[in-house]
Homo-oligomer: A and B are copies of this chain.
Amino acid sequence: MRKGKVLVAQGGGPTAVINQSLVGIVQEARRFANVDRIYGAHHGVSGIIKEDLLDLTQETDQNLELIAETPASAMGSTRDKPDAAYCAEILKVLIAHDIRYFFYIGGNDSSDTIRLVNDFAKKENYEMVGIHIPKTIDNDLMINDHTPGFPSAARFVASAFAGANLDNRALPGVYVGVVMGRHAGFLTAAAAGLRRYDSDGPHLIYLPERNFSMDKFLDDVKTAYGKYGRCIIAASEGIHDESGQAIATKLAKEVERDAHGNVQLSGTGALADLLTDSIKGKLGIKRVRGDTFGYLQRSFLGIVSDVDQREAREVGQKGVQFAMYGGKSGTVTIHRVAEYAVEYRLSALEDVAAKTKVMSDNFIASNSADVTPAFMDYLRPLLGGGLPVWSRVQSPAVPKILKK
């Protein structure tokens, strides 16, 4: 194994378990004699080009375990997308500090970043291994059965809808919850995760994998409301019309884009307000409420899937093992091999980089407004153990005396 330093950085949106991967890398890398130091960059690649690095070798195991439990990127994150000039800057820093192992924890944007940096290093004949460690609540990385961060966010969304369903049962009306997810509907679909009784909501689920039509939506709501006397709706922030235009941006005065060209959809209640206003206006239903889950769903303190924690730690550890024992660059991918067990493989960066996986057709109900039993089978083991239980009153009705 080549002697040299390890550098780890975190990119993209934070998750509840991204620090598990950070700690997995640090703890595993410490065991290798060829690694003299493990550096961490502040705010992803932006910290690298500023040489804003910390010496993570000098963390205690006790603090590392606390950091692992801490939601959101402990080293800070970035939305920067490096171009060639940016990569040249990164490489200068890697060379200057004799960094030979570079781990970047992130989503498909971040995997593309590491691919570019890695390719650039090859051109410069700088011997290094670059490993992408998967992370995204969107669950949209190719090849992976699922991605670290998604199960915990899914648990939050499932719990939120379970509570909203019970709340709405107590005070009936229409409730719309808007969930993160630009192109992939996995997280919105997780709204169904803790349905128990037949009449439990969400009764309608709208995913970006299907075109959204306001007319069909209002028909669906009317039908469900007629059937249940109430209606719970899960809508992805990324729902769009036939032309591909996001419903949320139809309203926005000015559209905000990040460095990757992604339109900003979260951090505003506009879509929920549009949907609830439409229901009130067109269907004449009075009690209509909308919540936008926003940033609560990705870094909530106290809602986490133990399966997710374990796997996020493992992808970090496996990344180091692949780097040291295999010596090749790549992306760590998660593969479901049993019901329920996973294994980790090192896959080619270009198979994941800048690509988006969406929900397969067999996960989406034929009415385009629900998930299938196949999706529930896929989701359930990810939500983790110790899920809260709940019940309904089962008592018989009291015979009426006055109003027989």
Whether B55 contacts A393 by the Cβ 8 Å rule is no
Task: Flag whether A333 is at the interface (Cβ < 8 A).
Answer: no
The CA of A39 and the CA of B393, in the complex, are separated in Å by 12
Whether B56 contacts A395 by the Cβ 8 Å rule is yes
Contact with B along A364-388 (1 / 0, CB 8 A): 0000000000000000000000011
The CA of A57 and the CA of B52, in the complex, are separated in Å by 66
Chain B neighbourhood of A330, CB < 8 A: none
Task: Flag whether A283 is at the interface (Cβ < 8 A).
Answer: no
The CA of A162 and the CA of B73, in the complex, are separated in Å by 13
The residues in A between 258 and 285 inclusive whose CB is less than 8 angstroms from any CB of B are 266-270, 272-273, 276
The residues in A between 77 and 132 inclusive whose CB is less than 8 angstroms from any CB of B are 77-79, 92-93, 96-97
Interface residues of A, count at CB 8 A: 90
Whether B302 contacts A289 by the Cβ 8 Å rule is no
**Which residue among A40, A70, A270, A403 has the maximum number of chain B CB atoms within 10 Å of its CB?**
A70
Contact of A171 among B58, B77, B92, B296 (CB under 8 A): B77
The CA of A286 and the CA of B163, in the complex, are separated in Å by 34
Whether A291 contacts B302 by the Cβ 8 Å rule is no
Task: Flag whether A69 is at the interface (Cβ < 8 A).
Answer: yes
Chain B neighbourhood of A54, CB < 8 A: 393, 395-398
Chain B neighbourhood of A70, CB < 8 A: 166, 390-392
Chain B neighbourhood of A331, CB < 8 A: none
Chain B neighbourhood of A69, CB < 8 A: 388-390
Q: A390-B301, A391-B63, A396-B55 are in contact. Are A266 and B289 (CB under 8 A)?
A: yes
Contact with B along A148-174 (1 / 0, CB 8 A): 000000000001101110110111000
Q: Closest CB-CB distance, A192 to chain B, in whole Å?
A: 14
The oligomer's copy count stands at 2
Task: Flag whether A250 is at the interface (Cβ < 8 A).
Answer: no
Contact of A269 among B37, B43, B270, B296 (CB under 8 A): B270
Whether B295 contacts A296 by the Cβ 8 Å rule is no
Chain B neighbourhood of A59, CB < 8 A: 393-395
Task: Flag whether A181 is at the interface (Cβ < 8 A).
Answer: no
5 residue pairs, one from A and one from B, having the closest CB atoms: A269-B269, A267-B289, A291-B294, A66-B391, A70-B390
12 A-B pairs besides A54-B397, A69-B389, A301-B388 with CB distance below 8 A are A51-B403, A53-B397, A55-B396, A57-B395, A74-B392, A75-B393, A159-B301, A159-B302, A163-B299, A167-B298, A289-B294, A292-B292
Chain A residues with a Cβ under 8 A of chain B: 10, 13-14, 16, 37, 39-40, 43, 50-60, 63, 66-67, 69-79, 92-93, 96-97, 159-160, 162-164, 166-167, 169-171, 175, 194, 256, 266-270, 272-273, 276, 286, 288-296, 298-303, 387-398, 400-403
Q: Can you list 26 pairs linking A and B with CB atoms under 8 Å apart?
A: A10-B170, A40-B393, A40-B395, A50-B403, A51-B398, A53-B397, A55-B397, A56-B393, A57-B395, A59-B394, A66-B389, A67-B390, A76-B169, A79-B171, A93-B402, A97-B401, A159-B300, A160-B296, A175-B295, A267-B289, A268-B290, A269-B270, A269-B290, A291-B292, A291-B293, A291-B294
